[in-house]
Amino acid sequence: MFTTKDTDHVTAAAEAAYEAFTATRTSRRARMLRAACSVLQRRASYFAPAAGAVAWGGWIYTEAWLTDPSWQEPVAYGATGILVGAVTGGAAVLGIRQPAAFPALYGGTVATGTLLWSSWQVIAPSLPGAAIGLVGAAAASFPFWGWLAKHRLDRDKLEAKAAKNAPPKAEVVLAPDDVAGALEATGTPGAALEQMLRHPDGSWTAILSLPVGVSPRDVASSALRVSRLEAALRLAPGWTLEVVDGGASHHLIVTARPPAPEVVVEFPTRHPLLDELEEWDPWQPLVAAIDIETGEEVYLHLLARAGILVAGLQRMGKSVLLSVVVAHLALTRARLILVDGKLVELSMWAPLCQHEDDFVGRDPLAFLAKLLEVQREIDRRYARLVKEGRTKAEPDDGWEPIAVIVDELATFIDIPDRKVRAQIISVLRDVLSRGPACLVPVLVASQKPQDDVIPSQIRDVCGQKVALATTTPEMTDTILGRGWAKKGANAHEFGENDKGRAVLLEDGSRPRKVQTFPFEPPERRLVIERARELWPDRPGARVPLPDIDDPDPRPEPPTPRGPGGGGGGGGGRPVLRAVPTYPDGSRIEENRLEMWQALEKAGPKGLTKGEAVRMGICNHHSTITPWLNQWLAQGWVEESGKRDRSVVFVLSAAQHTPVAEAPADSKENASCPASM
């Protein structure tokens, strides 16, 4: 038996239906008995004083009648007691729930009546005396009647108000004979309802035992049967039905759920990062969006999970989300490597880069070279992890985070050179999967959610995927993985006005529908200004402008190492924008550039051949010996004593790689002045 207290109208309707259902299962007499017992049980506290008073009055007057038999006294007093008792009982049955008021009113009424009547009897015992006593007792009950009337009036008012404000009544019908009957109507006769459970949220669960020969699994797994059962149950709109196999017990478990209550979620228009523009710890998750169903903050993890993939149709909010991630990274000590097929999206962050060539534009070969450089660093870091018997980096390892942000993956994947494409996919996959564990977070974004642009090898190693609006379920699956569109990740249902609306899927979790924060250029500039204040000496990267900066439009493809690389020379590098040269102006060969730069970086401390090998510049001393000999002969390098019994090589004073100047007539990118 249920109470309607504290339940909503849906629950009340469901209860009524359920009570009707249970009523059909018992005989009329049993139902009446049960109702009587129920009233007695629930209203016992109201009946007790009435019953006590009637018994007490009856006893006094029976005794009086025995000693002085006359009919007036017992009838008069008995009538009074019965009247007041009936009033009390009636009010109790009508549902007035004030246990303390009842006995008090009742007791007062009876006591006053008794006093008046007894006094009159003493003064002038007679029949009129009895009648006056009766009237007095009745008059004494006026306060009670007044109270009762007011109470009913108030209650009616409240009910009228509640009915006015209540949402339209939902129809929840459990068919007569209900779930078993409905099941029979769908072609599965003979089921018996074993148990009906009501849940506090208004949902219900029916446990049915099926006849021998009918498999609960067959019923539960047949979409047709389940939808027929749903129709036969005539559930109100918005209700959902779940049918599961009860297992060995040969039971079928049917659960109906009311629609989830609507949560009104307010979307903040300002990202919380803007309220605290201080150095940010990349180990903590960053607030990426708001869950549109619950209003909770939803996070992206830069280091604790594998890479991040963001994709969706054009103009739906990819760059905005990307900027939120870059803004967080800009406020860390991370080295930013920005790869932007469109140049304009990430170029405003270029002044925060720590290396001049850490901005890659529309150049797949330059991208591959950068990926190989990052891959070599990952190899070095993993070598240390292996030596130290660890599986991932810790915050106090002393490694500098290296964040790789790639916008518009299509520029680097959707290219005619299949070989370079395959190399890029292979190395990017490796960097995405191994990077975060050694402080190399990677984010890739694409505005073309198609298989040929987001290969499954790339998608599958991304531990966090964000699907902004797409147009088809296939596109959604391309971003999130096969089958997710069918399981409710419906990015393809977002409309063109749903800017920043996305489905976020984290490995091992259910997809969440989210709304990203707006993060427009003025807000991005605030972060940039603050980062420049925090780290004023970052040199920034040059944004390569096509046809202006790149002197060699057809550079030779680099030679990536095979999988698992292991710190080799890394092959050649494509010609990048500034042509590195020796002091005599001749170009530094691709395969020697890394060694030359290592010498530059080492400064007067110099470098031994062994150190160069350990840094992964080459596999063996013999590789660099001829280069060093040549540079010694030219006078660009000097020997400067020994360290650990090895000769230390240093660049001769003032040797450095001059940076090629942009031609005087070249246009300057507004977001990246040549001064950068």
Ligand X SMILES: Nc1ncnc2c1ncn2[C@@H]1O[C@H](COP(=O)(O)OP(=O)(O)OP(=O)(O)O)[C@@H](O)[C@H]1O
Output phi, psi for 635, to 5 deg: 85, 10
Two tokens at 349?
Answer: 């962050």
Q: Give the x-and-dash track for 519-558 against ligand X (CB under 6 A).
A: -x--------------------------------------
Shortest CB 628 distance to ligand X, Å: 47
Q: How far is CA 349 from CA 220, 354, 530, in A?
A: 55, 11, 12
Q: Find tokens 């070599």 and name the residue.
A: 376
Nearer to ligand X among residue 313 and residue 651 (C-beta): 313
Shortest CB 471 distance to ligand X, Å: 14
Shortest CB 501 distance to ligand X, Å: 8
Nearer to ligand X among residue 25 and residue 315 (C-beta): 315
Q: Give the x-and-dash track for 160-199 against ligand X (CB under 6 A).
A: ----------------------------------------
Q: Quick check: 470 binds ligand X (CB under 6 A)? A: no
Q: Quick check: 446 binds ligand X (CB under 6 A)? A: no
The answer to whether the annotation marks 29 as part of a ligand binding site is no
Output phi, psi for 662, to 5 deg: -70, 145
Nearer to ligand X among residue 288 and residue 489 (C-beta): 288
The answer to whether the annotation marks 348 as part of a ligand binding site is no
CB atoms within 10 A of CB 497: 8
Would the CA dihedral through 621, 625, 626, 628 be positive or negative? Answer: positive
Q: Give, in degrees to the nearest 5, the angle at Cα 505 between 499 and 508.
A: 170
Q: Which amino acid is at 387?
A: K
Task: Select the span of 101-109, 238-246, 418-426, 514-522 touching ligand X (CB under 6 A).
Answer: 514-522
Residues of this chain, 494-513, that bind ligand X according to CB under 6 A: 499-500
Nearer to ligand X among residue 230 and residue 345 (C-beta): 345
Of 76, 132, 219, 316, which lies in the binding site for ligand X, with binding defined by CB under 6 A? 316
Phi-psi region of 610 (alpha: psi -120 to 50; beta: other; left: phi over 0): alpha
Secondary structure of residue 110 in the 3-state scheme: helix
Size (the chain), residues: 676
How buried is 112 (Cβ within 10 angstroms: 0-12 exposed, 13-18 middle, 19+ buried)? middle
Q: Give the x-and-dash track for 271-310 against ligand X (CB under 6 A).
A: ----------------------------------------
Two tokens at 538?
Answer: 């970052």
The answer to whether the annotation marks 317 as part of a ligand binding site is yes
Q: Quick check: 518 binds ligand X (CB under 6 A)? A: yes
Would the CA dihedral through 473, 475, 476, 478 be positive or negative? Answer: positive
User: With contacts defined by CB under 6 A, how many residues of the chain interact with ligand X?
Assistant: 14
Outline where DSSP puts E strands in 308-425: 308-311, 335-340, 359-360, 402-407
The answer to whether the annotation marks 174 as part of a ligand binding site is no
Instruction: Tell me which residue of 313, 623, 629 sits closest to 494, measured CA to CA.
Output: 313
The answer to whether the annotation marks 316 as part of a ligand binding site is yes
Task: Select the span of 177-185, 214-222, 317-325, 600-608 touching ligand X (CB under 6 A).
Answer: 317-325
Nearer to ligand X among residue 255 and residue 671 (C-beta): 671
Of 53, 254, 320, 651, which lies in the binding site for ligand X, with binding defined by CB under 6 A? 320
Q: Quick check: 314 binds ligand X (CB under 6 A)? A: yes
Q: From edge to edge, which strands make up the β-sheet containing 297-300?
A: 297-300, 286-291, 512-516, 501-506, 464-468, 308-311, 442-446, 402-407, 335-340, 359-360
The answer to whether the annotation marks 318 as part of a ligand binding site is yes
Two tokens at 512?
Answer: 């969440």
Task: Select the span of 312-320, 381-389, 584-592, 652-660 touching ligand X (CB under 6 A).
Answer: 312-320
The answer to whether the annotation marks 314 as part of a ligand binding site is yes
Of 129, 136, 246, 317, which lies in the binding site for ligand X, with binding defined by CB under 6 A? 317
Nearer to ligand X among residue 145 and residue 267 (C-beta): 267
Of all residues in the shown chain, the one whose CB is closest to ligand X is: 500
Q: How far is CA 611 from CA 103, 339, 630, in A?
A: 97, 30, 19
Two tokens at 110?
Answer: 């009876």
| Cα–Cα distance measured from residue 327 to residue 524, given in angstroms and rounded to the nearest whole number | 7
Nearer to ligand X among residue 188 and residue 478 (C-beta): 478
Shortest CB 345 distance to ligand X, Å: 6
| Cα–Cα distance measured from residue 471 to residue 136, given in angstroms and rounded to the nearest whole number | 84
Shortest CB 468 distance to ligand X, Å: 6
Nearer to ligand X among residue 449 and residue 481 (C-beta): 449
The answer to whether the annotation marks 432 as part of a ligand binding site is no
Shortest CB 319 distance to ligand X, Å: 3
Task: Select the span of 83-91, 315-323, 412-420, 616-624 touching ligand X (CB under 6 A).
Answer: 315-323
Q: Which H, E and C letters describe 440-469, residue by residue?
A: CCEEEEECCCCCCCCCHHHHHHCCEEEEEC
Nearer to ligand X among residue 362 and residue 381 (C-beta): 362
Beta bridge partners of 360: 339
Q: At what angle do helices 127-140 and 101-123 cross, to 10 degrees?
A: 160
Of 251, 305, 318, 609, which lies in the binding site for ligand X, with binding defined by CB under 6 A? 318
Nearer to ligand X among residue 143 and residue 521 (C-beta): 521
Q: Quick check: 449 binds ligand X (CB under 6 A)? A: no
Nearer to ligand X among residue 243 and residue 313 (C-beta): 313
CB atoms within 10 A of CB 152: 14
Annotated binding residues, as ranges?
A: 312-319
Residues contributing to the site for ligand X (CB under 6 A): 314-320, 447, 499-500, 516-518, 520
Annotated binding residues for ATP, as ranges?
A: 312-319
